[in-house]
Amino acid sequence: MFGKKSLTELISQLKSDPNVTHWHEIEEQPASIVPYPKNMDNRIKTALGKREIHGLYTHQSSAFEAVLNNENIVAVTPTASGKTFCYNLPVIQRHINRPNSRALYIFPTKALAQDQKSEINEFIDDMDVNINSYTYDGDTPANIRQVVRKAGHIVITNPDMLHSSVLPHHTKWISLFENLETVVIDELHTYRGVFGSHVANVIRRLKRICKYYGSNPTFICTSATIANPLELTEELIGEKARLIDNNGAPKGKKHFVLYNPPIVNKQLNVRKSSTKVVNEIAATFLKEKIQTIVFSRSRVSVEIILSHLQELVKKDLNRKSIRGYRGGYLPNQRREIERNLRNGETIGVVSTNALELGVDIGQLQVCVMNGYPGSIASSWQQAGRAGRRMDESIVIMVANSNPLDQYLFQHPEFFFEGSPETARLNKDNLIILVDHLKCAAYELPFERGETFDGTEIEEILYYLAEERVLHEQRNKWYWMNDAFPAHNISLRSAAQENVIIIDQSHVEKHRVIGEMDTFSAMTLLHDEAIYLHEGVQYQVEYLDWDEKKAYVREVDVEYFTDANLAVQLKVLDIDKEKQLGTSLLEYGDMMVTAMATIFKKLKLETFENIGSGPIHLPEQELHTNGIALSFSSDEITNMREDVVEQMLMGLAHVLQHVACVRVMCDKNDLHAVPEVKAIHSEKPTVFLYDRYPGGIGLSDTVYKQIDVILHDAIDFIDRCTCSEGCPSCIGIAGAYSDFEREVSVKKIILSSLNSIIKHKATTL
């Protein structure tokens, strides 16, 4: 009781904090319950009755009826709304109707699969039915595997396992595939981008195998809130589906607070470190023994916050009561933490997004986020960790200085007025498609005229036959290679190699402090670069490009480095284009070549050039999709070249950030490059391209949504409090178009964007 009172007090105390920029209250909502569906077996009702459940939430009931009607569904419901019943109940009912029927559950991670197994097993135990449910993952012992294959009515696995173990060995799974009636795909929204594109192909393979064995399963998907759950579902499973979003679960009152740390450097618009602020806020709650979860984006920052919090509260509580939770912890340790959270022994947990997915950790009262988690969907999932069971709860998001966070804090409506994010995948990305065609051919020969779940593939099959990977015989393509293709294809990290950053300041204790994608590493982690990490300066002593490791040492110098990356974009093929006033927007195939050339050392206060050096790194090549926005208005063509350059740089900066929010991707997935004179058009151009070979559909979405994105960009710059541009908005401070310092680049960018929009308005 004491704790509760204290939470209310702390909430009102926080209300008067000047750094709170937005306070949003989500009112409580009563449950909406309907009677059991008519065709539900009595044993299920009895088992539910034992749990004091005497009806279904509206969405659970809709799901049940749709699935038994053989419709594919996607249920979109918030955390703790009983979504597991959306699939467990129909699956059990189907088993009762036909005891031989099988179901396959696909969870994005092993931990979730374990969790689900215990949940469904508990429920089955309460009923008098003979349903065997097993997890099947890398940890499953060999002797159990045989049992699972033969006798598992419900097989719970992850996409990686399906890809590399189940499908390639389908002959050992005959009883599953012959009787497969239901496929459950949980946490659907995680299947986007490269990962999603891979998984969509795994599903194509799954359906192909099912067809071979004569089954035609129904898909049940569940998703966190995204803009296009139905579209994503239909893309992923390649079939029509029904959206179920009539959530009937009750909700407790929730406060959602945006907290922007105070500005500490006015000129550069730099704010107090969000990590420090998070520490302070979390500590105030933890001191009152209020269960709190802290989310932070990187593993490193989790550890930093954890050690701070343990320090802060060491007098009040024992250290074990505050725990870290991230990938890299052993499964047993994770299970223990989850258990302690549920039973209240642990009152504080600091986590990466590892806890964002539906692992059951019971009820927490406070959620503090260190920075915007990267997507609205993640934000809501993390927020859902607080107040799962109808109590009052509070969610506090603390902004970083970076443009994305600042942008979102200017636009709280993004969070509270529906979700603008769209999850994309591109299952016909040629590289991914070919990879999975190989796997599919390994599993089962292709027949002439056969499509890959609707996609024409004959040309690729001919190509693979020419390469002597396949062999054509009597109108069939057979796998003719001694390799096991699935082993060389990873669903998660394909071609996305990262450079590991190793701090060797302390000879006895080298430690990994972070990682970076190879493209960025060329300019930020080259030899002698000054690398900033958590506000600390490091110098790169050696970049081992082959091993993808950068060795850094802590330094204290008064300069930073700025590397010149010669990026060239060649437009290979234009697929679509549209005229926006005097500007032209094109979309198509592009070849990006990047080479780091030299770096400059710039003095911190004055930006004075105090030295330079060469960078010796190989050229990187990327074949992808992208858009080009080129300008040909007189206003711009008459400007001095260096002004045009600055303007394009600023524009690229803004568009990249705004577009990333719209298309729901990480900043590293969608890159922006300005070119004063683009090769293909000879005009000043800003390019945005997918940072993955072959493209994953991001720039395509940007093309389609360009109007909103341009509006967003204008709005973003407009709302920034700086007068002449700052690192948070256009990425550069104090740039002007003339020596009299009258017209700032910020203004030019605004006016050029406005002219596009305006023209658009008049033509419409």
Partner 1 sequence: MNIKTKLNRMKGHLQLDKGLKETKFSNQQQAPEVEETVADDELTLKWSQLGFKPYVYEDQLSYEKRYTVPFDRMGKTNLQKELFEVKELWKKSDLDHPLSSKEVPLNRMLFFDTETTGLSSGAGNSIFLIGYARIVEEGVEITQHILKDPSSEAAFLYRFLLDFQEDDYLVSYNGKAFDWPQVKTRHTFVRNQVPRLPSFGHIDLLHAARRLWKHELPSCRLSIVEKEKLGINRGLDTPGSMAPILYFDYIHDKDPNHLKGIIEHNDQDVRSLVSLYVILTKRLFFSEGVKMSTMEHVQIGNWFEQTKAINMAKDHYIKAIDNGGNGREEAYFKLAVLEKKDNNVMVAKELFLKCISVGTLPKIEAMIELAKIAEHHEKDLEAAYEISRKAMGNLKKSARLTASSKRIVQDVEKRLLRLEKKMMK
Is 680 among the residues that bind partner 1 (CB under 8 A)?
no
Residue 482 or 547: which CB sits closer to partner 1? Answer: 482
**Cα 707 from chain centroid (whole Å):** 24
Binding mask of the shown chain, residues 285 to 314, with x at each position contacting partner 1 by CB under 8 A: ------------------------------
* Minimum distance of partner 1 from residue 614's CB (angstroms): 46
Longest dimension (CA), the chain: 85
Which range touches partner 1 (CB under 8 A), out of 69-77, 340-348, 375-383, 482-490? Answer: 482-490
Site of tokens 């009172």? 5
Among 15, 51, 150, 169, binds partner 1 (CB under 8 A): 169
Among 147, 264, 483, 532, binds partner 1 (CB under 8 A): 483
Q: Which DSSP letter does residue 455 get?
A: B
Is 551 among the residues that bind partner 1 (CB under 8 A)?
no
Residue 472 or 541: which CB sits closer to partner 1? Answer: 472
Is 172 among the residues that bind partner 1 (CB under 8 A)?
yes
Structure tokens at 742: 């009258």
Which range touches partner 1 (CB under 8 A), out of 258-266, 442-450, 701-709, 737-745? Answer: 442-450
**Cα 656 from chain centroid (whole Å):** 16
Is 444 among the residues that bind partner 1 (CB under 8 A)?
yes
* Minimum distance of partner 1 from residue 4's CB (angstroms): 49
Residue 177 or 689: which CB sits closer to partner 1? Answer: 177
* Minimum distance of partner 1 from residue 131's CB (angstroms): 26
- CA distances, 409 to each of 123, 275, 405, 650 (Å): 43, 17, 6, 20
Q: What are phi and psi of 652, to 5 degrees?
A: -60, -45
Residue 464 or 686: which CB sits closer to partner 1? Answer: 464
Residue 97 or 146: which CB sits closer to partner 1? Answer: 146
Closest CA to 629 of 582, 585, 591: 585
Collapsing DSSP to helix, strand or coil, 596 comes out as strand
Residues 226-265 that bind partner 1 (CB under 8 A): none
Binding mask of the shown chain, residues 447 to 476, with x at each position contacting partner 1 by CB under 8 A: ---------------------x--x-xx-x
* Minimum distance of partner 1 from residue 441's CB (angstroms): 7
Among 23, 478, 542, 560, binds partner 1 (CB under 8 A): 478
Residues listed for the chain:
764
Cα separation, 580 vs 409, in Å, equals 29
* Minimum distance of partner 1 from residue 165's CB (angstroms): 9
* Minimum distance of partner 1 from residue 470's CB (angstroms): 10
Cα separation, 221 vs 189, in Å, equals 10
Is 171 among the residues that bind partner 1 (CB under 8 A)?
yes
Is 174 among the residues that bind partner 1 (CB under 8 A)?
yes
Residue 164 or 382: which CB sits closer to partner 1? Answer: 164
Q: DSSP per residue over 722-752, as a string? A: -SS--TTTTS-SS-BSSTT--SBHHHHHHHH
Q: Are 425 and 235 in contact (CB under 8 A)?
A: yes
Strands (E), 529-654: 530-533, 536-544, 549-554, 559-580, 583-603, 609-614, 620-630
Residue 108 or 485: which CB sits closer to partner 1? Answer: 485
* Minimum distance of partner 1 from residue 451's CB (angstroms): 20
Is 442 among the residues that bind partner 1 (CB under 8 A)?
yes
Collapsing DSSP to helix, strand or coil, 525 comes out as coil
Among 479, 689, 692, 736, binds partner 1 (CB under 8 A): 479
Structure tokens at 112: 């979730």
Is 443 among the residues that bind partner 1 (CB under 8 A)?
yes
Cα separation, 363 vs 386, in Å, equals 7
Which range touches partner 1 (CB under 8 A), out of 20-28, 171-179, 387-395, 571-579? Answer: 171-179
Q: SS3 sequence, 639-695?
A: CCHHHHHHHHHHHHHHHHHHHHHHHCCCCCCEEEEEECCCCCCCCCEEEEEECCCCC
- CA distances, 748 to each of 433, 636, 753 (Å): 43, 9, 8
Which range touches partner 1 (CB under 8 A), out of 100-108, 162-170, 230-238, 597-605? Answer: 162-170
**Cα 128 from chain centroid (whole Å):** 41
* Minimum distance of partner 1 from residue 486's CB (angstroms): 8
* Minimum distance of partner 1 from residue 440's CB (angstroms): 10
Q: What are phi and psi of 668, to 5 degrees?
A: -80, -10
Q: Are 510 and 503 in contact (CB under 8 A)?
A: yes
* Minimum distance of partner 1 from residue 471's CB (angstroms): 5
Q: DSSP per residue over 104-117, as a string? A: EEE-SSHHHHHHHH
Is 445 among the residues that bind partner 1 (CB under 8 A)?
yes
Residue 479 or 692: which CB sits closer to partner 1? Answer: 479
* Minimum distance of partner 1 from residue 201's CB (angstroms): 16
State the virtual CA torsion across 513, 519, 523, 524 in degrees, nearest 10.
-10
Q: Are 326 and 352 in contact (CB under 8 A)?
A: yes
Residues 615-644 that bind partner 1 (CB under 8 A): none
Is 485 among the residues that bind partner 1 (CB under 8 A)?
yes
* Minimum distance of partner 1 from residue 148's CB (angstroms): 16
Residue 172 or 548: which CB sits closer to partner 1? Answer: 172
Which range touches partner 1 (CB under 8 A), out of 2-10, 78-86, 168-176, 700-708? Answer: 168-176
Cα separation, 601 vs 525, in Å, equals 14
Residue 38 or 468: which CB sits closer to partner 1? Answer: 468
Site of tokens 């982690």? 525
Cα separation, 702 vs 710, in Å, equals 10
Number of residues that bind partner 1 (CB under 8 A): 26
Closest CA to 273 of 225, 315, 235, 305: 305
Q: Are 680 and 571 in contact (CB under 8 A)?
A: yes
Is 482 among the residues that bind partner 1 (CB under 8 A)?
yes
Cα separation, 233 vs 563, in Å, equals 42
* Minimum distance of partner 1 from residue 168's CB (angstroms): 4
Closest CA to 418 of 386, 358, 376, 369: 376
Amino acid at 149: R
Which range touches partner 1 (CB under 8 A), out of 163-171, 314-322, 655-663, 745-753? Answer: 163-171
Residue 478's H or E segment, with its range, is strand 476-479
Among 161, 180, 441, 659, binds partner 1 (CB under 8 A): 441
Collapsing DSSP to helix, strand or coil, 758 comes out as helix
Residue 329 or 478: which CB sits closer to partner 1? Answer: 478
Residue 172 or 242: which CB sits closer to partner 1? Answer: 172
Residue 470 or 748: which CB sits closer to partner 1? Answer: 470
Q: Which residues bind partner 1 (CB under 8 A)?
A: 168-172, 174, 441-445, 468, 471, 473-474, 476, 478-487
